[in-house]
Amino acid sequence: MTWSIAVEFKFYFVLPVIIFISYWIKTNFGHLAEIVTLMIFVALSQMISPQSASLTNDPHLLPYLCIFLFGTALASIQCEIEAGNISIQRFRILIPLSYLAVCVLILMTPAIASLAFSQIDYNFFHKYFIQYALLWSIVLLSIINFNTPLSVFFSSKILCFYGGLSFSIYLFHPIFSSIASKIIDNSYAAAWFVLIFSTAASYVSFRLLELPASKLKISFKQTNKLD
């Protein structure tokens, strides 16, 4: 259940190379060339290892690289917006598009899609990596830069709370899933058991480990020595 951690850590080794190339392209050819280059990388990654050919919970990086590259492009665009190099007014089209994207994302939930259309398998959309990356990019750019009901929803306390605990929950939930499978027969009761106890364990971990660690700083003091 923690297969994606391996994918994430593999990307950390590739990330410095991507950042170096992006920075060089941006410095020499401009921001638009940087974004185009990242999208070319997306195309190349899919040519080498297409999303449709990936395994279920594939531990390899290449099928998912498109998601990370979209995230890199998104971060670059947001930096340009915050630096004042791109007018946010150019992105107002994202407001209606973000609502459309959310509707599509909801329809890409197998249970919802089965109600709206015909019965589909639970893993029907599992390999739609580029589609998810594009749709969520639209949503994120919109809610970060525009004060809309959608941004208010995503800024709600409950979502921010679980956002802060998300990594810990991801680490802890397999433990409670295993326990629930052995002691609880009802699937709904098991789901609530996993949610409650994963949240509790993650909150303790966050307060005792993650939050204190985030406040640690290493300072390098330069001392001048007189000969």
Predicted confidence (pLDDT) per residue in 88-138, tens digit: 888 899 999 999 999 999 999 988 888 888 788 888 888 999 999 999 999
One DSSP character per residue, 73-107 reads HHHHHHHHHHTTSS-GGGGTTHHHHHHHHHHHHHH
* Banded pLDDT at 227 (limits 50, 70, 90): very low
Work out the angle between the directed axes of helices 129-145 and 94-107 (0-180°, nearest 10): 140
Of 149, 152, 151, the closest CA to residue 141 belongs to 151
Q: Would you call 178 exposed, middle or buried from its count of C-beta atoms within 10 A (0-12, 13-18, 19+)?
A: exposed
**Alpha-carbon span 41 to 130, nearest angstrom:** 12
Q: Which domain covers residue 165, as residue numbers?
A: 156-214
How sure is the predictor about 212, in pLDDT bands with cuts at 50, 70 and 90? Answer: confident
Interval 194-209 mean pLDDT: 92
Lowest mean pLDDT among 35-44, 182-191, 193-202: 182-191
Separation between Cα atoms, residue 38 and residue 45, nearest integer Å: 10
**What pLDDT does residue 117 have?**
81
Q: How confident is the model at residue 219 (pLDDT cuts 50, 70, 90)?
A: low
Residue 116, in any domain of the structure: no
Domain for residue 223, yes or no?
no
- Decide: 60 and 54 in contact? Cβ < 8 Å: yes
Please report the pLDDT score of residue 9 as a whole number: 87
Measure Cα distances from 190 to 32, 91, 180 in Å.
49, 43, 5
205 within some domain: yes
Q: pLDDT tens-digit profile of 134-166?
A: 999 999 999 999 999 999 999 999 999 998 898
What does the radius of gyration of the chain's CA atoms come to, in whole angstroms? Answer: 21
Per-residue pLDDT, 136 = 95
Label residue 104 exposed, middle or buried (CB < 10 Å: 0-12, 13-18, 19+).
middle
Can you give the pLDDT at residue 6? 84
Residue 179 lies in a domain: yes
Looking at residue 29, its pLDDT comes to: 94
Residues 112 and 164: their CA atoms lie apart, in Å, by 27
174 within domain boundaries: yes
Tens of pLDDT, residue by residue over 6-19, are 888 899 999 999 99
pLDDT at 72 over 60: yes
In-domain check, residue 54: no
- Kindly report the CA angle at 168 between 147 and 66, in degrees rounded to 5? 65
Q: What is the mean pLDDT of the chain?
A: 88
Confidence of residue 218 (pLDDT cuts 50, 70, 90): low
Q: Distance between CA atoms of 152 and 144, rounded to whole angstroms?
A: 10
In a domain, residue 15? The reply is no
The residue assigned the tokens 């809610």 is: 143
Query: Looking at the predicted structure, is the pLDDT value of residue 223 above 70?
Result: no
Share of the chain above pLDDT 70, in %: 94
Mean pLDDT for 53-75 is 89
The answer to whether position 171 is within a domain reads yes
Structurally, the chain folds into a number of domains equal to 1
Q: What is the pLDDT of residue 5?
A: 80
CA separation for the pair 146, 92 (Å, rounded): 8
Beta strand ranges found along 106-203 (DSSP E): none
